[in-house]
Structure 1
Amino acid sequence: MSQVVSESVASLSDDDVQAVDRLGQAHGRLLAELAKVIVGQKDTIDQLLVCLFARRHALLMGVPGLAKTLLVSKLAETMSLDFSRIQFTPDLMPMDITGTDILQDSGNGRRTFEFAHGPIFANIILADEINRAPPKTQAAMLEAMQEKRITVVGKGFDLPPPFMVLATQNPVEQEGTYPLPEAQLDRFMSLIELDYPSEAEEIAIARTTTGGSLPQLEHLMTAEDIIAHQDLVRRIPVPDHIYTDAARLVRKTRPSGGTAPEWLLPLVSWGAGPRAVQDLILGAKSRAALQGSYMVRSEDMQFVAQPVLTHRIITTFAAQAEGLAARDIVGRLIDEEF
């Protein structure tokens, strides 16, 4: 193992090695800073950071009151990023997100159209309850998420880097919602599920939020720092066996093709696509860099596998009848693979 690590360090430049060290140290400071206002949720914060530095988007799933909005806004605050929250409702139109041309008086007796930027023009976007908006509005997010740009009335506008969409869904109330289609779910790198806090954490939350105003957090990074770290993540070495493990794990989720285990066949109707393999590798690279590691390890792959694969698997009625969710199936696959 020491020889593999030495070879990985040798494949990085001296500047990259120092950059990995700085990112590993910054990761610890970020967790400590966010702990001033966020109680617990360390794994959730780590998963969000993995997505951010991998230049990917995340889907947050949790019941109301778990501080999803506070977490995202404070994450943006510590990184000196512009934050925008969009509340998705059934009457939300695409132009409410992207912006539109507005007729303005030019001052010389003539009127001209000027583009009024919508809330999508920020670094971190919280798309709150994205499944409440109609499909036409949901589709308006696709170009922004994939291309980092939008088109309005035939004109293209680049979005400010870094750009990340964090969408939330309420798993309890589904009446009057428009479930995201599989093609759009696949645009999200990870499904990050938030659970209820422990009793001790719930007491700490009550102490923190019912007193004075929340503390202002220190700005630990700039947008330029984040972009540099995102570039660094792409250069983290990946051993050949990690590529093999990623492809093998994803192929096991597909009931067709003879690559899935026998027990999975009656439980899954559709498995993960090739983008899942890409996200596994990118997520593992990002996690390795955040941990200050000079190469991707199996534990990095294990850390990102559950959130990367869960929302990409469609279960059958037989699985639902047995009370098995996609998360349970992915967990068993991970246990068998690693």
Structure 2
Amino acid sequence: MRVTLERSHLLKSLTHVHRVVERRNTIPILSNVLIRTRDGGLQLKATDLDLEALEAVPAMVERPGATTVPAHMFYDIVRKLPDGAQVSLETSGDGGTLAIQSGRSRFSLQMLPESDFPDITVGELSHRFDIKARDLRRLIDKTQFAISNEEIRYYLNGIFLHTVDTPNGRRFRAVATDGHRLARADVPAPAGSEGMPGIIVPRKTVGEIQRLLDEPDADVVVELSEAKIRIATGDVVLTSKLIDGTFPDYGRVIPQGNDKELKVDRAEFAEAVDRVSTISSERGRAVKLTLADGKMTLTVVNPDSGSATEELVVDYEDDPLDIGFNARYLLDITGQLTTETAVFRLADPGSPTLVQDADDGETLYVLMPMRV
């Protein structure tokens, strides 16, 4: 194999595919990226056996072929080459090394044979639809922070994607929860998504999809079944296994009867929470909100270091209420809100609270209180 291509093209593709490769692997071939000529260009592929990234790169092919080399080392080499450089890739006659040449720089990487590289068997993908990158990015951005890290309830380690019928029509919905907070976001359901199975997309796959969606107007092709999902945009194709589990009935934890409404300036509230939580310990990050007569008092008490309070003027006309929340969770949620006013719908100190933007009915957050 001998090919020549632009450093910028190669780096962009390696940036996408090398992230799939785990830095520690017991199977040597999984540390490598597959490089092969195809359709007059170059194709790069990497996998961890659960997620596979494939990208086509424009290149001048002088001699076709294929091989695999260590992904992270190859990426680091290309990253450190100067902007605008031309990169030449050539395999040795004995099949042992790949020569990388750019200007006066020369590198030689050990290869493993292409035949050893695994391929994720996709099988039949039952549903296919197109969606704008901005819509898919919105679903991920609004819910990703609530994905659980808990290994026991593995079915919470991703985003639940499904379609639902609402009074506003059919919606494509994303939900994530870690048991302490829940995030739900909707966009109009794309044609072809009706009847799709509810799927749980793993955290790592969610992150890789998110990084690909940098052009809001780009078209994204989604193909899926109950076991796998494939995302294609531009020259990149991601294929991933899905989490084999049942996502809980999240509708049961979304409060319906919360009749105490609090409206507060989102930025002021977030800044106040951040300030008073400086006192809190890592173990107990509770901040108490005391609501009464159009005023909110935020209080944090840390027996080891001291206390902090701050008052805010708010729109609250219901019965006085003391309720506690994890400060970091409050900041995570307010960080997702986009309007000037945040709306909290509360019931009592022991019940879940609903949080939304003042004028956004497509996104909501549920937050469990803490004892304070």
TM-score (norm 2): 0.22
Q: Per residue, is there more strand in 1 or in 2?
A: 2
Q: Which has the higher contact order (CA 8 A, sep 6+)?
A: 1
The structure that has the greater radius of gyration is: 2
Q: Per residue, is there more helix in 1 or in 2?
A: 1
TM-score (norm 1): 0.24
